[in-house]
Structure 1
């Protein structure tokens, strides 16, 4: 059973990298991002490639340092280490890169045991591994003891989720974890995550697929060029999109029996492009925040 979820909070989190000749310049890839995810809640982080989604995930996991702002889990700053990764886990887009091809795929479980559960008897550990594999809709007899090249990408991805579950984490960063899976397997994985949140697991679900984010998440954060442009209750964000970029994303989703045409370019306005004030969000209705929404007072300084 899960020990209990963790409360994730990002408060104006920024990530800047040095750039240019001799590192004399800089580029900001995440710009004053603020949102939270409560225990037992799935939050979708949505945006196009290069918008900063994976960088946010890496900062939450302690793999990339925060340049400015505050990022906490249960009120404590991220401090990578054994105890931290006992509670916070990540599953990434490319499962093949997470396995050594010369070892059998279930070696990932042995590494977890060696680091976190070395005192667990062999029989008990084998039972735990088998149950974790069944929890991700796999048959232990068909996947354990095989090499990575003998398994599909979907099977390898679900084994990585099973590995994370063996630690009973409080928070999971799921970064494009369904992008390499076929349609039926994607639903299996999403249903698995939905079941885990009922047990208290908090999830940040990073994706560029709006339909999958809508299927799973209670709340959605829309990211563009490192900034949040819209966030809030998923049904409100997608049912009443106010930011031009959100509307463009929705218009770009192909629909059955409807001819697809390239969406019009994203509109901009003075409020969005206005530097410091351009990153501010305003609440248009309960749990629905937007920047550069082309509201009647668009372009004015927020109160």
Structure 2
């Protein structure tokens, strides 16, 4: 299990680092084997920061991230880090940035071989690479030996997923992996992620696209200004959003049959009608706690002030 427990990330900003900016505040959730967890929110909400901390690209300011019980921040030395990256890998938004343009694209496989499979024979390695490429629906003859500029973004993205298969990883951080791909390629990559999930891989799916998150994820985490405002089973969060930010986020999806002022008026009317006292409704002046309240089984929401939210 990849577990985030009250994870906070604070960046130093300003001249000489005299100021600070909290990118993530006390985020807690889990990614289990064979499960897709979507981190959803607008730009700057802290989604990618959480992914970077899981991959140790960014450090944790407070709280813990554990992988199968081991605190990720305590890993030191080449051997232990190598063992960790054999379990957890990341694929990012711009596939071209993961390749050196002066080398052929399949060099990413050669690097995996030298670090993790040095004893494998040439023939066996060729078979392993070919099998991994076929799983991600790539023809080895069409992609091996090519430079990055000779391949499409979708092909390069799937090659990175094939690299993860060669490592036989347990958890994948997929950070906006399809935002730069065309529509026909997007569904292929999404279905590929679903196949990896069926193989038992846990996937942390970072996206700002609500439709994609709803399509692929088992659990949804809604982030706003670095805080988790709602999380739970995807079907419950999408069918019955409770936090004002979640409602506004969902309402912001363009609807062809409605003008925005109609959507906004309906949203205000629904919020004004919700006057019932709920366990997540705070009294005026009451501080917002970091703990989320379970509103239904497997569905949690951050307490808020109803009047201020309208």
- 1:10, 1:71 within 8 Å by CA — same for their partners in 2? yes
- 1:41, 1:197 within 8 Å by CA — same for their partners in 2? yes
> Which residues of structure 1 form unaligned runs of 5+?
1-6
Alignment RMSD: 2.5
Relative to structure 1, the CA distance from residue 288 to residue 270 in structure 2 (aligned partners, 3 Å threshold; closer, same or farther) is: closer
- 2:105, 2:146 within 8 Å by CA — same for their partners in 1? yes
Relative to structure 1, the CA distance from residue 137 to residue 294 in structure 2 (aligned partners, 3 Å threshold; closer, same or farther) is: farther
Relative to structure 1, the CA distance from residue 84 to residue 165 in structure 2 (aligned partners, 3 Å threshold; closer, same or farther) is: same
Counterparts of 1:246 and 1:114, CA distance in 2:
46
- 1:243, 1:294 within 8 Å by CA — same for their partners in 2? no
Report what 2:298 is aligned to: 287
CA drift of 1:260 comes to 4.5
Counterparts of 2:283 and 2:183, CA distance in 1:
36
CA deviations 1:9-61 (Å, max 9, x no partner) are: 11110000112222222111000000111111110000001101011001111
CA drift of 1:272 comes to 11
- 2:283, 2:305 within 8 Å by CA — same for their partners in 1? no
Counterparts of 1:94 and 1:179, CA distance in 2:
9
TM-score by length of 1: 0.89
- 2:232, 2:299 within 8 Å by CA — same for their partners in 1? yes
How many aligned residue pairs are there?
Answer: 291
DSSP 3-state at the match of 1:277: coil
The answer as to 2:213 corresponding to 1:219 is no
TM-score by length of 2: 0.88
Counterparts of 2:106 and 2:287, CA distance in 1:
49
More helix by share: 2
Report what 1:107 is aligned to: 107
Relative to structure 1, the CA distance from residue 217 to residue 131 in structure 2 (aligned partners, 3 Å threshold; closer, same or farther) is: same
Report what 2:85 is aligned to: 85
Report what 1:40 is aligned to: 34
Relative to structure 1, the CA distance from residue 143 to residue 179 in structure 2 (aligned partners, 3 Å threshold; closer, same or farther) is: same
Relative to structure 1, the CA distance from residue 196 to residue 25 in structure 2 (aligned partners, 3 Å threshold; closer, same or farther) is: same
Relative to structure 1, the CA distance from residue 206 to residue 275 in structure 2 (aligned partners, 3 Å threshold; closer, same or farther) is: farther
Relative to structure 1, the CA distance from residue 119 to residue 72 in structure 2 (aligned partners, 3 Å threshold; closer, same or farther) is: same
CA deviations 1:199-256 (Å, max 9, x no partner) are: 211110000011111111111000000000000000000000111111111111123x
Partner residue of 1:23 out of 17, 22, 45: 17
> Which residues of structure 2 form unaligned runs of 5+?
272-279
DSSP 3-state at the match of 2:84: helix
Relative to structure 1, the CA distance from residue 145 to residue 237 in structure 2 (aligned partners, 3 Å threshold; closer, same or farther) is: same
CA drift of 1:278 comes to 3.9
The answer as to 2:228 corresponding to 1:234 is no
Counterparts of 1:35 and 1:252, CA distance in 2:
25
Moved over 3 A (4+): 262-278, 292-296
